[in-house]
Amino acid sequence: MTRISRPVRVRYAPSPTGFLHVGGARTALYDYLLAQKTGGAFILRIEDTDQKRYNPEAIPDLLAGLRYLGLHWDEGPEMGGDYGPYYQTERLGIYQKYIKVLLDQGHAYRCFCTPERLAQVNEERQKARLLPGYDRFCRNLDPSESDRRAEAGESFVVRLKVPLTGSITLHDAIRGDITIENETIQDTVLIKSDGIPTYHFAVVVDDHLMEITHVLRGEEWISSFPIHLHLYNFFGWEPPVFAHLPLILNPAGKGKMSKREERAPDGKVYPVFVHTFKERGYLPEALVNYLALVGWSYDDKTEIMSREELIERFSLERVNPSPAAWNYDKLDHFNGIYIRNLPIEDLTDRLLPFLAAAGINADRETLLKITPLIQERLTVLSDAPPWVDFFFVGELPSYDLNLLVPKKMTLADVPDILQVARRVLANSDFTHEALDAYLREAANSQGLKPGEMFQPIRVAVCGKMVAPPLFETLEILGREKVLQRIDRALERLQ
């Protein structure tokens, strides 16, 4: 394990091929926490050299997702910085300069093999029950011959000349030393035939030139670790500290978390993209808190932590190398806790966009009165519309009249109950305390249980069986609207 006592420079370097996934968001979060803890810099770099898979919607989604999570970068797109450009496609001249160094020093070579020949080689290797790969046909091509063919316009890629014997030992801040035999490493392509670098080459050059001190990335990149370390050695550069983060497994713990949002057997679509969690109404504070614990822990009991506490407590030493399963129920639990701890005015302001998205024209003054009634009942912010929609309509949509009927009664019993309730509501003080007392007294005088009086009132006024506390609801709606709705229920019953 590596203890850090100086400011770090870390980077989150996504490829813009899709939306921001929670796996990528966790990497960005750990980068951010490490930078904040040490007073260092969090850099955002866009690795956009894979133009075939480039998605024009990916970068706006990425930037919006990081901002929603509060992971504000110190250098990068829209921020600038002293180490730019921060898009790899704007750094192509830099890569050409450094690939020439490797070619001149004999650590890389041009490969003129056609796609057809490479396919034939792979086919022959499969027949021989060998792993697919390149047979190093061009590795020992005379440099002058290589230069001549390149100058003649023949298509080529540039490959890394990996040592054929010996081994290379890599140190991972989470997993310790990893030793790889060189004979198992391919002569990886560094520059493609169109002159654009592959990930392996560009990431090493960029991390060195941007003075990155720590590289945090998923464990799926461990296989590329020796290629990158060979490049650092060939250039004579000091490599950064590497930390390969554990996989995030699906909720069943039986495979990697899906890269796409798909309908599960129970019919639900479970989010995996940050923008979907935002749309569902997960608080960024809760999602950040939960994400931090998917592979890291402070101790064996502390779970709810503020951003400031996460920054103070985070360390690579406590990142677990074992895969961690995603748990939607636990995230929901976290989100509910965070919602219940929000000040009423803050929660109200966060609810307003979700009501607007549901077509509810809610005014803030009224919603401020309603929010305390539903705060304990919300798991995500998008739960709110069904709890409050009836407050903001003039006339209720049609509802099933049978909902008005208390247990062991019939529809014929309901008009008398509503008439009694109407007389009380028309003449009592319209505070929730007074309404509670008067309606209970009225129920008792009619030989009714309180619930037998309250159910018809609730359905007549709210249009549903499940609603916020009745007496507070009546007070917020006001006498005029309440009486209108009871009158409408009586008309429908007639």
C-alpha dihedral sign at 284, 289, 295, 296: positive
Encoded amino acid at 169, one letter: T
Q: Which tokens hold the place of 57?
A: 């919607």
Do 164 and 183 form a contact (C-beta atoms < 8 A)? yes
Encoded amino acid at 299, one letter: D
Beta bridge partners, 214, equal 10, 241
Q: Which of 37, 259, 449, 481 is catalytic?
A: 259
Taking the CB of residue 88, how many other CB atoms lie within 10 A of it?
Answer: 24
C-alpha dihedral sign at 323, 326, 329, 335: positive
Give whole-number Cα distances, 227 to 173, 175, 327, in Å.
18, 18, 35
Cis peptide before 85 (omega within 30 of 0): yes
Task: Report strand pairing: 108-111 vs 157-160.
Answer: antiparallel
Best CA proximity match to 212, nearest among 78, 75, 96, 64: 75
The single residue listed with the structure tokens 């000040």 is: 343
Taking the CB of residue 444, how many other CB atoms lie within 10 A of it?
Answer: 12
Q: Which tokens hold the place of 406?
A: 């208390």
C-alpha dihedral sign at 287, 292, 293, 299: negative
Tell me the CB-side half-sphere exposure of residue 178, using CA atoms within 13 A: 17
- Would you call 259 a catalytic residue per the annotation? yes
Beta bridge partners, 197, equal 191
Do 44 and 86 form a contact (C-beta atoms < 8 A)? yes
Please give the angle made by the CA atoms of 203, 208 and 209, to the nearest 5 degrees.
Answer: 100
Do 134 and 184 form a contact (C-beta atoms < 8 A)? no
Q: Where are the beta strands (DSSP E) in 240-301?
A: 241-245, 248-249
Beta bridge partners, 245, equal 218
- Tell me which residues are annotated as active site: 259
